[in-house]
Amino acid sequence: MSGTAQGPRLRPSLAGIPGYKAGKPAGADAFKLSSNENPYEPLPGVLEAAVAAAGSFNRYPDAGVTELTEELAKRFGVPAEHVALGTGSVTVAQSLVLATAGPDDEVMFAWRSFEAYPIITQIAGATPVAVPLTAGEEHDLDAMLAAITPRTRLIFVCNPNNPTGVAIRRPELERFLDAVPSDVLVVVDEAYREFLRDEQVPDGIDLYRDRANVCVLRTFSKAYGLAGLRVGFAIAHEPVAEALRKVSLPFGVSQLAQDAAVASLRAEDALLVRVQALVEERERVSAGLVEQGWTVVDSQANFVWLRLGERTGDFAAAAAAAGVVVRPFAGEGVRVTIGETEANDIFLSVAQAFRAEL
C-alpha cells in the first residue's frame, strides 16, 4: 500500500474537455427558449403509446429496435440495415466518432456549430479541428476542404447549422462532398431538417444514396417533440451502420421511446402542422427583428441567432428578466428557440428595447 492516498488515475485528456452546457431551465414564470425544444405537448396518440409501453418497463426493450427501424426504412426508402438508432442523435454522433476516430485522428466541424462535436471528439481521444464560419455565418466549405489532412477521419456538416440556422444549398454541398476523400466519413447532421423551407437545400438522404462515405443524422427530439425520450438515428451505408451497432451499448433506446417514435411517425400529419406553425412564427420573428434594425441571417431551423459579441450576456440577462430564457454563447451571440407566440413576443420586445440602447 502506498503511503500517500491517491485517487484513481483518470485519462489526462479528459481535463481539456469542456462540459456540455445544456440550455438553462426556466422557472415556473418563464419560457424556456434555450434548448430548441418543441413547445407543444405530446399528441394524444403518441402519449398513449408511451403510457402503454410504461406498463412493461420491468422488461428490457427490443434490442434491435425492430419496429421503428422498419418504419424508418420504409419511410425513407432505404434498407433496414442502413438504419442505426441511439439514445438521441447526440449518442449516435458519438458512436460515429468512436467508430471512425481515435488518438492521432482528427474530427472536423465548422465552428460555431453543435457544441457536442468537440466534446465527443475528445472523449474518443481524437483531435477536434474547428473551422470558423464565414463572416456571413456560413460553413466555410473551402476552408474545411483545405483543412483535411491524412489524419481526418470524420467531418460533421450541420445542415441547417446550430446555432446560426443557416443552411447549405445543393451545389455547394455536392461540390464539397465530391471533393472530400472517399475514406473520410461525412456526417450530415439534419437535426432540424423538418423546419427547412428553402427548396435549394438538399435532403441528405438523397446525397447519401450513391456516396458510400456520407451518412445522415436525424432526431425525434425537435420537430417530433420527443426530446425527453431520447431517440435519434443515422442512415448510413452498411459498413458504417454495422460499425455503429458494434460501438453502441445494448438496450439504449427504451421501449417507451421506440413505441412513441413509431406513433409519432404515424401521427406525422398532425405533427407537421405544428412544425409549419413554428416555421411561420420563425418567419414572423425574423421579420420583426429585421424591422427593428437587426441583421439576421436566414434561419432554416426552429431558432434564430443574434450575433451580439460583448453584449451577449447583457442580452441574455435582459431576456431572463423579461421572462424568456435564451441560450447565450459568451462573447458571440444568443440563440433563441422559436416557442409559444407569447414567448416569441416577449423576446421581440426585449430585442426592441435592446436595439434602442445600442
- Residues found near ligand PMP in the complex (CB under 6 A): 36, 88-90, 114, 158, 162, 189, 191, 219, 221, 227, 232
What are the start-end ranges of the E strands in the chain? 31-32, 83-86, 106-111, 127-132, 152-158, 185-189, 214-219, 232-235, 303-307, 324-325, 327-329, 333-337
In the complex, the smallest distance separating the C-beta of residue 26 from ligand PMP, rounded to whole angstroms, is: 17
In the complex, the smallest distance separating the C-beta of residue 204 from ligand PMP, rounded to whole angstroms, is: 12
Residue (61 or 86) nearer to ligand PMP, CB: 86
**Rounded to whole angstroms, how far apart are CA atoms 332 and 173?**
26
Residue (187 or 348) nearer to ligand PMP, CB: 187
In the complex, the smallest distance separating the C-beta of residue 330 from ligand PMP, rounded to whole angstroms, is: 18
Residue (160 or 288) nearer to ligand PMP, CB: 160
Q: Which residue from 226, 264, 261, 247 is spatially nearest to 62, judged by alpha carbons?
A: 261
In the complex, the smallest distance separating the C-beta of residue 343 from ligand PMP, rounded to whole angstroms, is: 18
Report how far apart, in Å, the C-alpha atoms of 284 and of each of 121, 191, 303 are.
37, 22, 12
Residue (30 or 234) nearer to ligand PMP, CB: 234
- Could you tell me which residues come within 8 angstroms of residue 187 by beta carbon, excluding any fewer than 6 positions away? 93, 96, 154, 155, 156, 157, 215, 216, 217, 234
Residue (101 or 257) nearer to ligand PMP, CB: 257
Point out the residue whose Cβ comes nearest to ligand PMP.
Answer: 88
In the complex, the smallest distance separating the C-beta of residue 285 from ligand PMP, rounded to whole angstroms, is: 18
Place of cell 502506498: 2
First vs last C-alpha separation in the chain:
64
